[in-house]
Amino acid sequence: MELKTVGKSITKFDAFEKVTGEAVYIADVEFPNVLHIKVVRSSVAHGRIKTVFTEDAYKTEGVRGIITGEKIDFLAGICIYDQPPLAKDRVRYIGEPVAAVVADTIAAAEKAARLVRVDYEELPHVEDPVDAAGEKAPLIHEELGSYFHLPGFNPEPGTNIFHHYHLEKGDTEKGFKNSDVIIERTYTFPHIAHAQIEPHGAIAKWSKGKELHIYSSTQGPFIVRGALSRMFNIPNNLVRVTVPYLGGGFGGKSDLTIEPLTAYAAKFFPGRWLRLILTREEMFFGSLIGRGTHSHIKMGFTRNGKLVAADVKVHLAGGAYGDYSINIVTGTGHNATGPYEIENVNIDSFGVYTNTPLVGACRGYGHPEAHWMTERTMDIAARELKTDPVKLRLKNILKPGSENNLGQIIRKSNGDLEGAIRRAVKEIQLDKREEPDNPRFAAGKSIAALMKSPVMSTNAGSSVIIRANRDGTFHLLASHVDMGQGSVTALSQIAAETLGVPVEKIHHNRGVDTEFTPYEWQTVASSTTWKAGSAVKKAAISVLERFKAIASEVFKTTPDKLTASNERIWYGRNSISFADLAEGYVFPDGHAIAGPVIGTGSIVPQGLTYPDRKTGRGELAAEWTFGCQAAEIELDKKTGRIRVKKFVTVLDAGKIINPVMARGQVEGAVVQGIGAALNETLIYSDKGRVRNSNLTDYKIPTPEDTPDEIVTVFLETPQPGGPFGARPLAEHGIVSVAPAIANALRDATGMDFYDLPLNQDRILKALYGKGEEK
Amino acid sequence: MKYLVPHSLAEASELLLDTGNSMLLAGGTDLLVEKRAGRISPEAVIDIKRIDNLDRITLQENRLVIGALATITDLLRYKSLPEELEALHDAGKEFGCYEIRNRATIAGNLAHASPGAEFGSTLIALNAEAEIFSIRGIRNLPVENLYIKAGKTVLERGEIIAKIIIPLRNNSASSYFRASRVNGMDMAVINCALQGFYDNNKTGGLNYRVCLGAAASVPVRLPEVEKMLSRIDGTAARSSEVFSGIKSYLLKTLNPRALSLRAAPFTKKVLAGNLIEDACCKVRERLIK
Ligand SMILES: Cc1cc2nc3c(=O)[nH]c(=O)nc-3n(C[C@H](O)[C@H](O)[C@H](O)COP(=O)(O)OP(=O)(O)OC[C@H]3O[C@@H](n4cnc5c(N)ncnc54)[C@H](O)[C@@H]3O)c2cc1C
């Protein structure tokens, strides 16, 4: 069947309001009599709170209250409940909220916040995840054993390990014994920031002591609803979460961030809106940060290049509270060895409490960390084995019939990794060498393969409502958050295609309101088009069925005799328009049947399970997206700067619903990945303070830093069960950027790097620093 | 905080003297950043943007005069920039982004005294002077003598940089290079401005003025390096000997701040040598062309 809307590059529905400034973001939302919150944050990385002095702050004109954590008797969380909304007795990182100053104006709140003095008894602190997991480390949560957590997680009380994910397959001891070449390396990926354009915000109000309404810049309104409802012990339907337009998320606005704090403070001022908007600086320590892994990998190969064993240890510096990164630990774990079939695997992935800001979801979700080690190691192995890195990969990749680490059998419909690798090699012209004329430059090329699965709750549901209107138009109501990725448009395309109407006839809600729009787990894991899109398709089909049921009454036949096309229901050569069926069909004499038509669609991912307690295996991935990336770089040896001349991404993402938007996602991810590969890192002082909490010294790429050429190719092996064959693609462009660049750098210079970012300090030290001190 | 708008330099100088903790406001691209960060909290800002004729750039017989309110964009658009002052153009092109260049003034760049400021090292290499106005009198000061430490100049209360005066020099050329972390908007990790000139009759060899920014707490001239550069005679062998001499000299003598967020001291030292080499080659190319 020829598709009319799906597969077309429809302009984003919300482009106009965003370009004109009409779109309302959280900071634009205004209420009368709003009170402002300024957070007083811990200035020590680890300590006991002795006294909070608020007298001076209270004297500031306009101050209405100063709320501290003393009386808090609950812990917030989703997977593990380990964090109070305000520090109680104890602080665990610099930036942790200690008090919320509430005032008539933000200026008054800020002024008073500076006057709050906190005395601490300082405790030893630890930032490195391997140190933190060690026996000598200061214990950050003595109460770990008493924390509630969901099944599938494995805290180790008495240590800083809040989750230990273990996976085993085959017999690694035997595997290494049978190996001729063993490569062992250690890699690090530093803490990075999401640097969303829009800072986090929340505005909350309580009424009648038991109803809570909160506006929030969240990717997960229903997650927020559930967590607040549990925290305050109020029913789900009395917590209302409204999300206006969202200005970028990248995972940093998923799960919970500032909502518990805002809601807790608002409880002291019933009937009034309390507003908290983070500053740019607070974005680096007051919400969520990303990555922060130390990984050790050992890979064993036979002489002819068969990868037979892998042993991996990953330590993730999760920050002072573990709830936000606990699933990344699992995701990094089972993806740790990349897109390869390995008979014998042993993986230990540790989520470790550290005295740093909190790590949360960050585009890629464990996969960039994993591929940074695996794809570097594959290149190194190819050298040791004196074989071609492309051949070595092709020999070991997951292909139809292979069994992955989890025990899943890969099917042809999972996508064409071999095709992706071959295409990337072709696009980058890997066999063509061009030496720069000027000897100050060194040029190199390389590839890095990738795979990704959406890491999600086993019951990560989506639901959608479609309402038919009297003029033949439709409302599509759903609660995914369009933060720029274009899901509003993509889902409208799926609805239009299924209903057989022009896409202009679909209106999708902008923003989300848990009071009106139906349940959605959250907008993460690149899952919306694939997962919520399936629900849209179901809802559209249910509308058509309803239309047919009504029309069958009119035509006095059964629905199966009817067809839908051209916005009409047909019975032979007779037909009735969707418009006439939408809100109650009216016969010529005026009497009407049926009522307004509503279609619904609901799904959960099929067949997900918790990991097996012993082997860590199981149905942890609902599907897979495979791909390959390739970089052509030029190093300026005098400045130590890398220029990415060309960057190629080939993804088998199934049917592409909207090609321009899909390419936009990949290009955005590539540029973000280049930032992390070349420059981005949070810099800690020896006291544990983030020193570069601003965009002056946390350098993200600018337009001038994008590659000269970005090539994006989609292979389209249809995904069974995905709407029109679509599968996830939004994060994937970031997964293997760093290893592709580092492999190309090795190609250019012969230098191997294991730590990120590949900045001037690292490169110039390697080029000129023989015998230099650190 | 009070916002005051004088209409003459004299009035501005008087306001500075009369109002306790007050600061001049030109483009505001430093002042507002400082205020937001809580590093300054002036009781009054004195906006000098309504003073007439301060934004002029004029070419006089043997000097270029840049008014206190001339912005980076004004400089970049200035059509009669003498060839030998091309370093100014180089620096302007590296500076910030379009929006910032439209507001940021060259005088403000000097007055803020940030160690890596584009025009600190550039104007020192070009041997520029600042004309400093106060109702108590006018004085001229080489830009080289303007700095005390990061963020601090010798300007006294009531003093305003009214003009920047750059002498023209026959048989000279200049260039400016900077190293930064990204290509787009960034601050200098280290920068280097260099002027090469023949003595009047072009009899002797080339002489140099070299100034580094962000290598220390103030822009620094490098007399020893200048001497070493003057040994270059145009042969490749001598050039490479001189440059490697300079590089090892810098590795030994430069002492950049250990805790810079932009680069480690070793990085800065390596970059300094490489930038001097690039800047010198560029100057020679410009002179010989
Ligand atoms: C995003 C961004 C990017 C930037 N990029 C760069 C860059 O690439 N390179 C660079 O060097 N700088 C950069 N800066 C810093 C800043 O833009 C420059 O230092 C600029 O030249 C300051 O000029 P202004 O007119 O804005 O000064 P203002 O902020 O108005 O004033 C700066 C200081 O100088 C004083 N002052 C101003 N005029 C005078 C005067 N005539 N006499 C005496 N004192 C005076 C003020 O009181 C104040 O203390 C950047 C700033 C921002 C915000």
In angstroms, the Cα distances linking B264 to A118, A319, A760 are 34, 26, 9
CA-based end-to-end distance of chain B: 54
Angle, helix A760-768 to helix B265-288, in steps of 10 degrees: 80
CA–CA gap between residue B102 and residue B254 (Å, rounded): 34
Residue A583 contacts by C-beta under 8 Å, 6 or more apart in sequence?
Answer: A468, A469, A470, A595, A596, A597
- Interval A168-218: pLDDT, tens: 999 999 999 999 999 999 999 999 999 999 999 999 999 998 999 999 999
According to DSSP, residue A200 is labeled P
CA–CA gap between residue A579 and residue A473 (Å, rounded): 8
- Interval A399-453: pLDDT, tens: 999 999 999 999 999 999 999 999 999 999 999 988 999 999 999 999 999 999 9
Number of A to B CB contacts under 8 A, please give it. Answer: 59
- Interval B206-222: pLDDT, tens: 999 999 999 999 999 99
Task: Report the SS3 class of residue B17.
Answer: helix
Out of B187, B263, B266, the one facing A696 most closely (by C-beta) is B187
Q: In sequence order, what DSSP letters do the residues of B184-206 get, joined into one string?
A: SS---SEEEEEEEEE-TTS-S-E
In terms of Cβ atoms closer than 10 Å to its own Cβ (0-12, 13-18, 19+), residue B87 is buried
B274/A639 CB distance under 8 A: yes
- Mean pLDDT over residues B187-194, rounded? 97
Can you list the domains of chain A with their CATH numbers?
Answer: 15-22+459-603 (3.30.365.10), 31-125+200-277 (3.90.1170.50), 290-396+410-456+609-768 (3.30.365.10)
pTM of whole model > 0.80? yes
- Interval B245-262: pLDDT, tens: 999 999 999 999 999 999
CA–CA gap between residue A223 and residue A78 (Å, rounded): 8
Predicted pLDDT of residue A774: 39
Residue A528 contacts by C-beta under 8 Å, 6 or more apart in sequence?
Answer: A462, A480, A485, A487, A490, A491
Strands B206-213 and B147-149: unpaired
B266/A692 CB distance under 8 A: no
Angle, helix A659-678 to helix A737-749, in steps of 10 degrees: 50
- The token duo for B152 is 């601090």
| Kind plus residue range of the DSSP H or E element containing A172 | helix A172-177
Mutational test site, ligand 1, from B4, B16, B22, B29, max ligand atoms within 8 Å of CB: B29
Give B271's contacts in chain A (Cβ within 8 Å).
639-640, 760, 764
Confidence category of residue B27, pLDDT binned at 50, 70, 90: very high
Predicted pLDDT of residue B234: 83
The residue length of chain A stands at 774
**Shortest CA distance to A328 belongs to which of A343, A356, A350?**
A350
Question: How much of chain A exceeds pLDDT 70, in percent?
Answer: 99
Q: Ligand 1: residues whose CB is within 6 Å?
A: B 23-31, 33, 68, 95-96, 100, 103-105, 107-109, 111-112, 117-118, 155, 160-161, 185, 187
Alpha helices in B204-262 (DSSP H): 223-229, 236-253
CA–CA gap between residue A108 and residue A402 (Å, rounded): 63
Spans of chain A below 50 pLDDT: 773-774
CA-nearest residue to A767 within chain B is B270
What does the H/E/C string look like for A268-295?
A: CCCCCCEEEECCCHHHHCCCCEEEEEEE
Cβ count within 10 A of residue A460: 20
CA–CA gap between residue A310 and residue A307 (Å, rounded): 8
Q: Which residue has the tokens 């070793």?
A: B266
**Shortest CA distance to A462 belongs to which of A722, A716, A664?**
A722
B181/A772 CB distance under 8 A: no
CA–CA gap between residue A568 and residue A542 (Å, rounded): 15
Amino acid at A394: L
Can you list the domains of chain B with their CATH numbers?
Answer: 172-287 (3.30.390.50)
CA–CA gap between residue B252 and residue B234 (Å, rounded): 26
- Interval B115-157: pLDDT, tens: 999 999 999 999 999 999 999 999 999 999 999 999 999 999 9
- Atom 27 of ligand 1: nearest residue by CA position: B108
B271/A759 CB distance under 8 A: no
CA-nearest residue to B252 within chain A is A772
- Strand order of the sheet with strand A563-565? A563-565, A568-571, A574-577
- Atom 43 of ligand 1: nearest residue by CA position: B160
For an interface test with B, which of A681, A764, A765, A770 has the most B Cβ atoms less than 10 Å from its Cβ?
A764
Predicted pLDDT of residue A771: 54
Nearest 5°: the CA angle B86, B95, B138 is: 70
**Shortest CA distance to A317 belongs to which of A139, A489, A506, A189?**
A189
The distance between the two most distant Cα atoms of chain B, rounded to a whole number of Å, is: 62
Task: Report the SS3 class of residue A556.
Answer: coil
Give A761's contacts in chain B (Cβ within 8 Å).
263-264, 266-267
User: A555-565 burial, b if ≥16 CB within 10 A, otherwise e?
Assistant: beeebeebebe
Q: Which atom of ligand 1 is nearest to the CA of B106?
A: 21
Residue A695 contacts by C-beta under 8 Å, 6 or more apart in sequence?
Answer: A195, A280
B215 in Cβ contact with B249 (< 8 Å): no
According to DSSP, residue A509 is labeled P
What does the H/E/C string look like for A683-730?
A: CECCCCCECCCCCCCCCCCCHHHCCCEEEEEEECCCCCCCHHHECCCC
User: B225-236 burial, b if ≥16 CB within 10 A, otherwise e?
Assistant: bbebbeebeeee
CA–CA gap between residue A79 and residue A195 (Å, rounded): 25
Amino acid at A54: T
- Per DSSP (E only), the strands in A278-421 are 290-301, 307-319, 344-353
CA-based end-to-end distance of chain A: 64
Taking the CA of residue A718 and the nearest CA in chain B, the distance in Å comes to: 40
ipTM for the complex shown: 0.95
**Shortest CA distance to A92 belongs to which of A128, A127, A56, A40?**
A127
